[in-house]
A and B are shown apart, each in its own frame.
Chain A
């Protein structure tokens, strides 16, 4: 640590060791090469499944289903990315999900009705249920985070304990009973044709997203100009803007291209006295609420990770914990906060899953921790800490779900599905480390 006359071996200042060569189109556009690679991999996967399933994979209906099926894991992955980036792990999320699933189920089906004498579908109870559910998850996460950060028990141990504890606690809450049915309004949070935005609102959301994206690009450009920083060429910004807008528009177009199932459309028509046209009533489904929730959370978490002190500290701790402490960062509090966040996100996932299933059952979330960790890792999060993006994690979740849905669609049985998922995980991480070694 102290003096040792070591030979001076460091290279000179300004020597471009590891300085990226800024020549390729992608680097001019300033896009994350890795993320683009994942999108390409996903596209290849989708096209392959479409081919193998005689064109059933790339249908609005299947893609819409896929988006809803990915939502819960995607929500949890956004938190897991931060946990792993800060050199921790959370194995308890599946059990926290299971526990809070029982809490939200019991709250709306038994506790609130029994205490307040309200019926199951009393207006507004769903909001109370969701808020309390999220609070319970956050408190559990906080409890575990406290033990990890302030008492210094490794997160692997604490959350492994949590995995057992909260699963057991979920059982104890209702002796393993299945709580069903749930509040019809609450069920909308799980998606389904009624739990979706419909055509107009979906386009409104798309419009807001595109405008926000464009404003962001312009503001960023202006700000860099004001400080006299180098900026991307105008065509690059415009290209990014157009590609981003197109992606949003296509996604919404696909969601709208999935019409309500005929039976539901018919029911709706009869209830509302709408005449049914000869070809059947076509009601565009649009973006499902759980998907909207997942996207909203991904945007929020990206903002927290990139634009808030907390996020910066999480990454710094992952890069060099000692440096973070010496920089005066309250690393313990930061770590505890990541676990609070993870707990809250697990309960949001519990809300989505129970609402979608219209039931709280004991086993919900079993094995979710592995799915979520795999999604984060496939999405480029390094288990060594310090590296990982929210967007990558969400994409990882979509890739995992695509594999599972696609293989079920083409009739691959369960055991082989697991094997394929395992191979994909290893290949993704292997490719990632190869890429990193090559760059540095």
Chain B
């Protein structure tokens, strides 16, 4: 038994090593087609990338007759810098950069610009006018989480569970929260107790769980709602609530559209999971890359709007709309084939939601 398992693990390893190779991804391995697109991933360590972003991107490029070369930086800025170099050396026509660390990525951007290669900043913003920022509207995601949660729980004590400190995404999301809750705080409807807004090391669910337990202890369970910045951490928060018998009573919001989270929405322990269809983003990036192969002017890409970066640089962006999944529109997730009915309805008592028989 254990030997079989080891063999399986080794097979898995081989697959990973193959996928890490410089010519993974596209099926033409770079020789065929006029348009050669390079994709530098920050990390494959999250559910979405291999499952959604990459297939979307691949499909769009394949449809346009382009080839793809991609590599993974495993969240290391240094690795990514050399990965981008390798892509540029491979003679790509368009660079899609999913930055591991936006500041260090600027050098890579410069190198691409020097080589006359148009750049798409994929899902993570770069402080450069030369990169076309393509993302779901993250501020909008934050807004949607807060809107759904405040609708379910318009008053009371709010806890805010943020992601890793020092990254930009937690800031965008927090800004979206702020737009919704600031007036309510001002009106005295909502309070964030001292110490109830925390960052979470590495976005880890178990760290979020520890933090939530401590917040509950500090406030004698007097917390009515939690804004979590992703679904993994929302899961940790809900586990902490469950240990106090408060799951389902406290309104919790998150994002990513994790299957487990949408199941929790159906169960009623989570109010909302804002879903960013990463396949859609991958597809959009693929289509934009095809256009950039024809015409390297980023402002000419379909859907590009003028936008300002966090650092105040004027540039262009393509912003896709996220989709909040609540108990009212679970069917939307099913329609996207995001998850199966079985996955949606695991443990859900029949008759509590329409989608679950």
Contacts and interface: CB of A to CB of B under 8 A. Distances in A.
A172 B15 contact: yes
Contact of A165 (B13, B204, B236, B264): B13
Contacts of A120: 346-347
Interface in A2-23: none
A388 to B, nearest CB: 26
Interface string A386-430: 000000000000000000110011110111001000000000000
Contacts, number: 163
Interface string A348-362: 000001001111011
Interface residues of A, number: 61
B51 A177 contact: yes
Nearest to B15: A172
A358 B236 CA distance: 8
Nearest to A416: B165
A353 B236 CA distance: 10
Interface in A53-106: 53, 56, 59, 61-62, 65, 69, 72
A136 B10 CA distance: 13
B218 A409 contact: yes
Interface string B246-270: 1001000000001111011000000
A358 B239 contact: yes
A143 B8 CA distance: 14
Interface stretch (A258-266, A302-310, A317-325, A373-381): A258-266
A167 to B, nearest CB: 7
Contact of B206 (A164, A267, A357): A357
Contacts of B242: 192, 358
B44 A176 contact: yes
Of A120, A132, A173, A414, the most chain B CB neighbours within 10 A belong to: A414
Interface string A133-145: 0011001100100
Interface in A258-293: 261-267
B123 interface: no
Interface stretch (B87-95, B195-203, B289-297, B302-310): B195-203
Contacts of B213: 65, 69
A356 B236 CA distance: 9
B88 to A, nearest CB: 25
Interface stretch (A27-35, A37-45, A244-252, A363-371): A363-371
Nearest to A362: B45
A178 B204 CA distance: 12
Main secondary structure of the interface of A (DSSP, over half): helix
Contacts of B200: 414
A241 interface: no
Interface string B101-133: 000000000000000000000000000000000
A385 interface: no
B232 interface: yes
Interface in A165-192: 165, 167-169, 171-173, 175-181, 191-192
Interface in A119-158: 120, 132, 135-136, 139-140, 143
Contact of A405 (B50, B206, B210, B246): B210
B6 interface: yes
Contacts of B259: 177-178
B12 A179 contact: no
A231 B174 CA distance: 65
Contact of A176 (B12, B45, B203): B45
A193 interface: yes
A56 B217 contact: yes
Nearest to B339: A177
A357 B236 contact: yes
Contacts of A363: 45-46, 202-205, 232
Contact of A408 (B15, B198, B232): B198
Contact of B5 (A136, A357, A411): A136
Contact of A178 (B12, B221, B235, B243): B235
A191 B206 CA distance: 13
B187 interface: no
A364 B211 CA distance: 15
Contacts of B74: 164
Interface string B63-75: 0000000000010
A266 B258 CA distance: 32
B307 to A, nearest CB: 29
A431 to B, nearest CB: 26
B46 A65 contact: no
Of B2, B46, B243, the most chain A CB neighbours within 10 A belong to: B243
A53 B246 CA distance: 24
Nearest to A177: B47
12 contacts: A132-B1, A139-B2, A143-B6, A177-B51, A178-B258, A356-B206, A357-B205, A357-B209, A363-B45, A366-B204, A408-B210, A413-B199
Given A69-B210, A120-B346, 13 more contacts: A61-B217, A72-B206, A135-B2, A136-B2, A136-B5, A139-B2, A176-B45, A192-B243, A357-B235, A362-B47, A363-B202, A363-B204, A409-B217
* Pairs A-B, 5 closest by C-beta atoms: A263-B245, A411-B195, A180-B260, A176-B47, A264-B245
Interface of A: 53, 56, 59, 61-62, 65, 69, 72, 120, 132, 135-136, 139-140, 143, 164-165, 167-169, 171-173, 175-181, 191-193, 261-267, 353, 356-359, 361-364, 366-367, 404-405, 408-411, 413-415, 418
